[in-house]
Amino acid sequence: MPKIVFLPHQDLCPEGAVLEAKVGETILDVALRNGIEVEHACEKSCACTTCHCIVREGFDSLAESTEDEDDMLDKSWGLEPESRLGCQALVAGDDLVVEIPRYTINHAREH
């Protein structure tokens, strides 16, 4: 089973976490299942960016993002080349190292 290392985040997981993931699960669902309450304001429908995360290791193992995901990512706070929406990125076979950005912007609420 692949593992996801979540790097420490001040509020959501101050110590960081190493979690087991199932292939085909989203990064967001792995976090939520383990009590890391990453925001998901649009209920995982690719419309808010609050689940934005940065995949520091293992990025290339993930299936490519869709155009809809890329459009939303463009509006994320702190966008990086390895940014993904946690609700859209499906775990493949490889281990991942994931950073949860410090801030998020909730486009679902703001529009």
In order, the DSSP letters of 42-88 are TSSSSSS-TTEEEEEESGGGSPPPPHHHHHHHTTSTT--TTEEETTT
Smallest distance from ligand FES to CB 79, Å: 14
- The pair of structure tokens assigned to 8 is 């420490």
Distances (CA, A) of 36 to 31, 58, 64, 69: 5, 20, 25, 22
Which C-beta is closer to ligand FES: that of 1 or that of 102? 102
3-state helix vs strand vs coil in the chain, percent to 5: 20, 25, 60
Interface residue with ligand FES among 17, 41, 62, 97 (CB under 6 A) is 41
When asked if residue 47 is in the footprint of ligand FES (CB under 6 A), the reply is yes
Which C-beta is closer to ligand FES: that of 13 or that of 51? 51
When asked if residue 40 is in the footprint of ligand FES (CB under 6 A), the reply is yes
Which C-beta is closer to ligand FES: that of 50 or that of 83? 50
Interface residues toward ligand FES, by CB under 6 A: 40-42, 44, 46-51, 72, 85, 87
